[in-house]
Structure 1
Amino acid sequence: MTLEQIFATRAARLKASEIRELLKLLDQPDILSFAGGIPDPSLFPAEAFSKAFSEALTPSRQAQALQYSVSEGYLPLRRWLVNHMETIGVPCTVDNILITSGSQQALDYLGKLFLSPGDTALVGWPTYLGALAAFNAYEPVYDRLRIGTNRAPADYIAAAEAAGGRIKFAYLSADFSNPTGETVDHAGRERLLDQAETMDCAVIEDAAYQALRYDGAPVPPILALEIARKGTIEACRTIYCGSFSKTLSPGLRVGWVVAPQPVIRQLVLLKQAADLHSSSINQIAIHTVAERLFDSHVAELRSVYQRRRDAMLDALARHMPDGVTWTQPEGGMFVWLTLPEGQDGAALLARSLESVKVAFVPGRAFFADGSGANSLRLSFSCASEPTIEEGMKRLGVLLREGKLAS
């Protein structure tokens, strides 16, 4: 007997992240990587964090910074987040906020809280790979979330019942989504809330990129729209997941959940069972830096990333062959390419790494049903404008060489 023989059945649903594996390519100096959706480390507010950590370790504060803490999270940080959420139209209290180890942990907790085996999770086609990884362990059935179509809620409900469960939530990244970079417009968000009411399910709003808008008019968060409808967050079914990973630092692993108090109380119990609380000193440092420079730092990020977004869209327009299409994101970190039918992103990646040394993420991994072979994701956040130009030129040459086998 081996230990693998007595793993729980859910272990069979766990898969390695293609993105995490591709990040290893960043250590190879000859690879032009557009794979990992990671912030540019040269833009981290390192000096501000160095000062914040030093202050946290002064004799008067070090006990708090290095000690166990409450599961809900560092209270001054939660108070800062109350003010921050107010600025984007989400009035709430500290009791509506839980600090998590990145928004990825929030997705894991929400999957654990809502999903029983056979229940349905509505997700995009494609959707964030990390969300699928988080939800997979709880053995859901996936159905395609269609906001802009005429698919009736009754059809979703019937499909979920046929699968042996019920619809528990609709998950989406409404702003500059990972992987497509697309944004759900105001009307689409209102339609989703209507659908969720009819289906009597939760809405999980992944807002990891919400602060990174470069042009176009801001759209209120789904939670803000629902509060406007119902008058209070306590009557809402939307759960907002935020993160400092794309704005201040991914390495400190600080995210947050905003939800009605009954949901927060249950998530606190899950956190107590999982890791007790997020790192005290990291929360203190994030609070210090956010309080001092969040707005100015995010403004700097927007300026740099917008130039890189523009450089990628311009290079794609000049170098891609006929038949290749791509999204036009108003923010975030990604552009989504759709290749002609018959081409395969994974096969293209293998050939690309061998011949032109360009890395990206094949699209199939972002589809719950394994479709989407003729697509790929490009990230512009961690590449200079000359690198983007050269990378898109190389990729265009490769694509012009002819169709790849599917």
Structure 2
Amino acid sequence: MDWDRLYASRMRDVVASDIRERMKLLAAKQLIHLGGGLPDPDIFPYEAIAAASNRIWADRAVARTALQYAPSEGYGPLRAWIAAYMTGLGAPCAVDNILITNGSQQGLDFVAKLLLSPGDRAMVEIPSFIGALRAFDAYQPTYVGLPGGNPTDVKFCYAGPDFRNPTGTTMTLAEREALLDMADASGMAILEDGCYERLRYDGAPLPSLIALACARRGSVEAAPVLYTGTFSKMVAPSLRIGWIAGPAAVIRKLVLIKQASDLATSALSQMLLLDVVEAHLEETIATACAVYRERRDSMLAALAEHMPHGVRWSRPEGGLYIWIELPEQIDATVLTQRALEEQGVSAIAGAAFYPRGIAAERNTLRLSFSMIPTEPAREGVYRLGALTREMLQSSAAVTAISTA
């Protein structure tokens, strides 16, 4: 059977995520994992989730609801809670402005399915979240880079304003306002990825793009922003609860896509999640911030101690990632492959985060401090630094011989 002949044309550009492939290595305990950005399971709210589960099973009527199909829009009380949560973040929402999704990844896919036809222009950050790129790839867009790209005829701009994946950087208030100006002038939509917004360790919070747009336009109904949020980083990823917030008319269209995709998100997961966040969300976020702040500080200190001259890195105010810029003569793909094979250290080369059709910088890589304690992380950075120094010396020796 020649299955290749039968695949849809859009599958030609769909490739495996390098990060998801690397995650298969997590079972290899001897590796030092500096690449993947998984939340640390040691800080999940186990007791709160167990108590919520017990309350569901203790009431047969509640349990019947939990085991039945949920509405495609999502469990009503959870949608109401998220609407109030978004309102508290400066984007006044009603229940009709919220769609529950299976994680924010499904939200990215749904928005791309709603807006993109083959050849349409999608503006994305350079570099950008690989999960978003893989979601968009299936709808065969032409990519335009942010910043610097021409917004003419762009359907939407994908942006993660806070502690971006992969760079860890944050948009300034002026940059957020400028992006909204661009949307106002061009008519494009903005797809805002808010998954790291609450994981802030330093500095004052900045308003989200959807909050700024609501302030400009007077309501979420007039805002050109669709906001994707998730509880995967704030509570636990396996519950697979995310949401899209936006104008009610757009949400109604997205509900049709949800119905055709998976009908509904698990009612049980939604009800468990609601019970936990009503009583424990701020406590859970505070715990995560305390753990990740310490790990970020330790990794930054290790980079300063062990990386050779000429290596630069971001200093994130939150989130889970640090972006490394190596000297130009170092190919990060070669470095990360050697690090894995020779040093037992897993990291992700930056080229994986560039969209199709846009040239990647080959001398970058992403590290994450979320899932690894401080001492193994310091050892991993030490090994990466030693290998980088070795490759720099080899490059210098080759250059000296060629110019002799």
Fold-level similarity (TM above 0.5): yes
Match of 2:275 among 273, 276, 288: 288
- What are the equivalent positions in structure 2 for 1:349-368 lying under 5 Å apart? 349-368=336-355
Identity of aligned residues (%): 46
Q: Which residue of the partner structure matches residue 402 of structure 2? A: none
Using the TM superposition, give the Cα deviation of residue 57 of structure 1 relative to its aligned residue in structure 2, in angstroms. 2.4
Q: Which residue of the partner structure matches residue 89 of structure 1? A: 90
Matched, 1:194 2:181: yes
Between 351-360 and 304-313, the greater mean CA deviation after superposition: 351-360
Q: Supply the distance in 2 between the matched residues of 1:373 and 1:80 (Cα, whole angstroms).
A: 44
Letter in 1 for 2:123: L
User: 3-state DSSP class of the match of 2:238?
Assistant: coil
Match of 2:391 among 383, 398, 402: 402
**Offset from partner CA, 1:349-394 (integer Å, 9 cap, x none):** 1111122111111110101125122110000011111112111111
Q: Supply the distance in 2 between the matched residues of 1:338 and 1:29 (Cα, whole angstroms).
A: 28
Q: Supply the distance in 2 between the matched residues of 1:361 and 1:108 (Cα, whole angstroms).
A: 23
Matched, 1:39 2:39: yes
Between 82-91 and 119-128, the greater mean CA deviation after superposition: 82-91
Q: Supply the distance in 1 between the matched residues of 2:239 and 2:339 (Cα, whole angstroms).
A: 33
Using the TM superposition, give the Cα deviation of residue 402 of structure 1 relative to its aligned residue in structure 2, in angstroms. 2.1
> Structure 2 stretches of 5 or more lacking a match?
396-404
Using the TM superposition, give the Cα deviation of residue 342 of structure 1 relative to its aligned residue in structure 2, in angstroms. 2.2
Q: Which residue of the partner structure matches residue 197 of structure 2? A: 210
**Offset from partner CA, 1:202-230 (integer Å, 9 cap, x none):** 00000010010000111000000011111
Contact 2:339–2:345 (CA under 8 A) maintained in structure 1: yes
User: 3-state DSSP class of the match of 2:190?
Assistant: strand
Contact 1:57–1:65 (CA under 8 A) maintained in structure 2: no
Match of 2:309 among 300, 322, 341: 322
Between 340-349 and 253-262, the greater mean CA deviation after superposition: 340-349
Using the TM superposition, give the Cα deviation of residue 94 of structure 1 relative to its aligned residue in structure 2, in angstroms. 0.5
Q: Supply the distance in 2 between the matched residues of 1:265 and 1:379 (Cα, whole angstroms).
A: 37
User: 3-state DSSP class of the match of 2:237?
Assistant: coil
Matched, 1:176 2:171: no
Q: Which residue of the partner structure matches residue 256 of structure 2? A: 269
Matched, 1:107 2:94: no
Letter in 2 for 1:394: R
Letter in 2 for 1:383: I
TM-score when normalising by structure 1:
0.94
> Structure 1 stretches of 5 or more lacking a match?
158-165
Q: Which residue of the partner structure matches residue 116 of structure 1? A: 117
Q: Which residue of the partner structure matches residue 220 of structure 1? A: 207
User: 3-state DSSP class of the match of 1:63?
Assistant: helix
Contact 1:115–1:168 (CA under 8 A) maintained in structure 2: yes
TM-score when normalising by structure 2:
0.95
Letter in 1 for 2:362: A
Contact 2:91–2:210 (CA under 8 A) maintained in structure 1: yes
Letter in 2 for 1:386: E
Q: Supply the distance in 1 between the matched residues of 2:359 and 2:292 (Cα, whole angstroms).
A: 31
Using the TM superposition, give the Cα deviation of residue 24 of structure 1 relative to its aligned residue in structure 2, in angstroms. 1.5
Q: Supply the distance in 1 between the matched residues of 2:78 and 2:347 (Cα, whole angstroms).
A: 36
Q: Supply the distance in 2 between the matched residues of 1:327 and 1:370 (Cα, whole angstroms).
A: 21
Q: Which residue of the partner structure matches residue 136 of structure 2? A: 135
Letter in 2 for 1:384: P
Q: Supply the distance in 1 between the matched residues of 2:119 and 2:82 (Cα, whole angstroms).
A: 35
